[in-house]
Chains A and B, each alone.
Chain A
């Protein structure tokens, strides 16, 4: 059996740039690799991704494996698994990290089963046990109510990483590293589930994940009209609107603004939670916010256990006055 060594990050590109999660994994992966005294590599799969290799090195990679092939232009499970199998057989990493993204959620479990190893999904913390050199994998479970710490003996030890759980290194363009081309090895006749097209549902305004302020509404908003008022507040703060799942399930706002375990992960300076109860699944998407502010009519609502500031009030009475005062103060 091959000698498994080092940390390999499965990188992703978004619109021609290295994805934020990839830089974050390189930051986290660098620490693990240093603790192991082994190398940190990244694999970039896609079409036209070679240009990103230097950027990955600047963010901490010692080595970049580039699998640049038109067949990998769009993510397709079968193709990416074949390509990853090829890379992992060649690299034999001790630790393999993927992002908890729409690709990682799909690729990581199936790939782990293919390799007859295990994966811990959606980890928020990783460490190396100094004695056993095993990867210590911490992940929220029960919708964020608990944390579970796992180890696995089978190799490679795999984990997917939650967005914003790890910090990227300062970009350093003077860093040096190796760039290695790897053929994809994809047999196109074995791609069964095929990508046909992508339909974009753009939301106007500031991107939720990047907004400095997020104003989220919950079931208590009662309908789409309430969300119009949240938009006004969000605009004053140069922020974006988020929502809990019931607001999406009721069709008040598009699903792209859902915050939480199964929605977007945000970590703004200010998170204003209005008429939402603060369920653990929702908080999983916003607990990294710097300051959480709650407006809720129920003093017992869980959100008051999560927030730093709050008022107990009906939003219908509180919000207009709040928005007006905020606008005045920020003028």
Chain B
């Protein structure tokens, strides 16, 4: 099977909230010093979903990432996990893209790849949390989409997906080619073995510039945006925590319960 995974490089979403800063003058996030970016969490899960499909059915996995200043060690992680090829759409023009312009450029690159069975995306990127790009790609390509997958199998030429809903899951069947967005319930992404890391080090990413994928320059990056970011800010927290002390943990716990009763919380 020909499998494609879209992965996004993001600032580490697990960095402590206290280190998070916004420059309100430019409406930009200031990356915490010394914390390297990562592949967006759900995109690693998407890579895992593709690897499981490849384990079951064989085939090839192509990873695509769009951005600017993509850190090679970061975006190569899917290769170390077992993907076969990496295409980077890397250009300063992609700064300040929105979901629309990102999906458009990715769909043009996928058109250039041509032949594929399944595209995997994360359910949402860990920075802007939109959950739009995957569905946008599917719409640009005119292919069916299934979101929030926790299990993806290929049965009799069809893709069978378990889609997470609040009280269980739905089973959805789609013909190929199709696009699937993946959620963490799929399971932990595998570790990159040392052999994989060494293999990845030898693979040169393929770099496609905007002109290589035939995009309309007015539709990519900032000029292709459909949304205007008016303001980006950090909400103020005025909360103050009352720490209840005690002689030991059990004593503090009892005092906490009493205090909660007193404050009519219980």
Interface residues of A (CB under 8 A from B): 74, 77-78, 101-102, 105-106, 109-110, 112-114, 117-122, 136, 140-143, 145-154, 192-202, 237, 245, 248-249, 255-256, 261-262, 264, 269-270, 278-281, 291, 293-295, 299, 302, 304-314, 317-322, 325-326, 329-330
Contact = CB atoms under 8 A, between A and B. Distances in A.
Contacts of A192: 143-144, 174-175, 178
- B interface secondary structure, majority: mixed
A145 B129 CA distance: 11
Interface of A is mostly: mixed
Interface in B18-40: 18, 20, 22, 29
Most B CB within 10 A of own CB, among A142, A281, A321? A142
Contacts of B232: 141, 146-149
Given A193-B145, A329-B258, A109 B131 contact: yes
Given A145-B20, A194-B173, A197-B171, A105 B147 contact: yes
A28 to B, nearest CB: 19
A95 B188 CA distance: 39
Given A113-B103, A136-B230, 13 more contacts: A110-B136, A143-B13, A193-B178, A201-B167, A248-B185, A255-B150, A261-B129, A281-B13, A293-B260, A302-B16, A311-B256, A314-B249, A318-B250
B146 A249 contact: no
Interface stretch (B65-73, B86-94, B201-209, B221-229): B221-229
A308 B239 CA distance: 7
Nearest to B164: A255
B242 interface: yes
Interface of B: 11, 13-14, 16-18, 20, 22, 29, 98-100, 103, 123-124, 126-132, 135-136, 138-140, 143-148, 150, 160, 162-175, 178, 183-185, 187-188, 226-235, 237, 239-246, 248-261, 263, 265-266
